[in-house]
Structure 1
Amino acid sequence: MIRTIWFYFSFLLTTLYVCIFMPIAAAIDNSGKMVRYFAMLWCKAARDCSQIKLITDTDNIPTDQPVIFVANHQSQFDIPLSTVALQKAMPAFMAKKNLQNLPLIGRCFRLFGNISVDRTNRRAAMQSLEAAATTIRNGRSVILFPEGTRQEQFEELGDFKTGAIMLALKAGVPIVPVIIEGTGDILPKGRIALGTRKKVYITAMEPISTAEYTVKQRNEFSDMLRERMNKKYMEMRACHKKEA
């Protein structure tokens, strides 16, 4: 309980600080460096205020071209922790629209270049995919959660939505699968109090070329991608299960 109280108190203060000063930084620095600095400050605060020990294996991240990172999703911690783990690439996120509508935080979300997705509107969702494709063409990587929402069971990955796969195939850039293990045990969907677990593992797998697949083969590609990621996730889950 003490850990939970400390997390919300200290993280709220950091969030207010970032939400106040990030827009100011954006106004005086056109390069975006200050925005990235405040974004990383917020993400690291989520890690440190929650006393999470983040263990990463991200040597496979390409640095010579933009990619699409595809990650599993179990907790609100997934966004800040994966940002820290993938900070060499500083990818933009595709996330649900209501994050953009949050007071203060929503503005910072937009300043960082993240892309909102309205899952209730198919046309708007397609426009979001086009915005993500433009981001990639401009040289910035994108990260998305193909399960669509936070999963409530952790034994295996959920089903993948094909919209995310279509973006990857249309963009024609490599996909880097990212496995996040442990966040669901700390703050699962529907819970406020932090769990007792403190270690989180994030691994970037080998990039997968999309050159051999077409949009018509999106289901085949999606099945292949989920199978590879699920196998790695289950291996990591079995290895670290005693920490849950």
Structure 2
Amino acid sequence: MLFLGAIVVWAVTTPFDRNGRVLHLYSCFWAQLYFYVNPLWHLRVDGREHLPWHGPAVLVSNHESLGDILVLFGLYRPFKWVSKQANFRLPLIGWNMSLNRYVPLVRGDKPSIIKMMRLSERWLERGVPILMFPEGTRSADGQLKPFKDGAFALALKMRCPIIPIVLTGTARVLPKHGLVMQTSAHCHVQVMPPVDVSGFDDVAVLRDHVRDLIVAEKARLESLPARA
């Protein structure tokens, strides 16, 4: 039923919403239903005011589980996902990703990476943010893996800000290689202030700076007392 709703939204809004913002916001609602209907799942989003409604930005987040997808839709701001191409073949959810014109990627495939970067540049030129997981894959133990260069090279080339996002609590929803969603979850999304890339001219320096910000903020959030 939700996918049929997505088709209706797509058909009605496409003529006047060339960037698919309305369909994306509908998809945000679709993903958030899991939290709305489950009293044992809790999501807190802080710093949403740092996200643009209009204008280019590269959003980067740590990646702990498939639950990250659900909570990041809770940002309720326009953006295009960069996601594994295999996800686009999933029934219903993958079809909705195609309707949203999210950006597919085959990890480790150079032509696919080049195509992904070009598509991302086009969306940024149209004032639509891109969201990427710079670790490239989910962390198995919750510790941040090394960041890849793509998101940071993109931000430097397009001269747009990078917005770091920190997730906690999502690893317990559906851990890597896990098949069963946990019955309870307390997830937190912290959007950090944008990083102005004008002070950087080296991808590696920018990459490491943003990773250090995310590591420090994640440690701070995990040290806070658990909320009921």
TM-score by length of 1: 0.83
Distance 1:25 1:221 in 2: 38
Residue 236 in structure 1 maps to residue 210 in structure 2: no
Q: How far did residue 48 of structure 1 move?
A: 2.8
Task: Give the paired residue count.
Answer: 221
- CA pair 239-36 structure 1, distance change in 2 beyond 3 A: same
**Hey, what does 2:111 align to over in structure 1?**
123
- The one-letter amino acid of 2:6's match is M
Question: Is the 2:149–2:204 Cα contact (8 Å) retained in structure 1?
Answer: yes
CA offsets 1:150-207 (integer angstroms, 9 cap, x no match): 11112x3111011222111112100110001000022111112233542111111111
- CA pair 49-188 structure 1, distance change in 2 beyond 3 A: farther
- CA pair 63-23 structure 1, distance change in 2 beyond 3 A: closer
Distance 1:147 1:115 in 2: 17
Question: Is the 2:54–2:128 Cα contact (8 Å) retained in structure 1?
Answer: no
Distance 2:162 2:141 in 1: 25
**Hey, what does 1:172 align to over in structure 2?**
159
Distance 1:78 1:235 in 2: 19
- The one-letter amino acid of 2:151's match is A
**Hey, what does 2:61 align to over in structure 1?**
71
Runs of at least 5 residues in structure 1 that lack an aligned partner in the other structure: 1-16
Distance 2:21 2:123 in 1: 17
Distance 1:37 1:176 in 2: 19
Distance 1:137 1:43 in 2: 27
**Hey, what does 1:133 align to over in structure 2?**
121
Question: Is the 1:42–1:80 Cα contact (8 Å) retained in structure 2?
Answer: no
Matched position secondary structure for 2:131:
strand
CA offsets 1:62-106 (integer angstroms, 9 cap, x no match): 44532111100111111221121x21x221111111111212322
Q: How far did residue 212 of structure 1 move?
A: 2.3
Distance 2:44 2:22 in 1: 26
- CA pair 33-127 structure 1, distance change in 2 beyond 3 A: closer
CA RMSD of aligned residues (A): 1.9
Matched position secondary structure for 1:211:
helix
Distance 1:164 1:171 in 2: 11
Matched position secondary structure for 2:198:
coil
Distance 1:90 1:81 in 2: 14
Among residues 197, 200, 208, which one is paired with 1:223 in the alignment?
208
Distance 1:222 1:40 in 2: 28
Higher helix share: 1
CA offsets 1:27-77 (integer angstroms, 9 cap, x no match): 233234652353123111232345421111123224453211110011111
**Hey, what does 1:98 align to over in structure 2?**
86
Distance 2:133 2:21 in 1: 26
Superposition pairs for residues 119-198 of structure 1, below 5 Å? 119-154=107-142, 156-195=143-182, 197-198=184-185
Among residues 74, 81, 92, which one is paired with 2:71 in the alignment?
81
Question: Is the 1:18–1:38 Cα contact (8 Å) retained in structure 2?
Answer: no
